Amino acid sequence: MKAFLELVTFSEILVGLKETFKHLFTPSITLQYPHEKRNLPNGYRGMLSLLRYSDGVEKCVGCDLCEAACPSRVITVVSAEVPGEPTKRYAKEFFMDMTRCIFCGLCVEACPVDALGMTKEYEWAVYDKRSLHLNKEQLLEIGDRAFPERERPVQDQYHNVATFNIGLPQIPQKPS
Footprint on this chain of ligand SF4 (rule: CB under 6 A): 48, 60-66, 69-72, 74-75, 77, 91, 101-107, 110-111, 113, 115-116
Q: How far is the CB of 90 from ligand SF4 (least distance, A)?
A: 8
Is 15 exposed, middle or buried, given 0-12, 13-18 or 19+ CB atoms closer than 10 A? exposed
Main-chain dihedrals φ then ψ at residue 5, nearest 5 degrees: -65, -40
CA distance 154 to 152: 6
Instruction: Give the helix/strand (H/E) hosting 133.
Output: strand 133-134
- Least distance CB 169 / ligand SF4 (angstroms): 23
End-to-end CA distance of the chain: 99
Contacts 24+ apart (CB under 8 A), 134-138: 134/95, 134/96, 134/98, 135/93, 135/94, 135/95, 136/50, 136/91, 136/93, 136/94, 136/95
Contact in structure between 112 and 95 (CB atoms under 8 Å): no
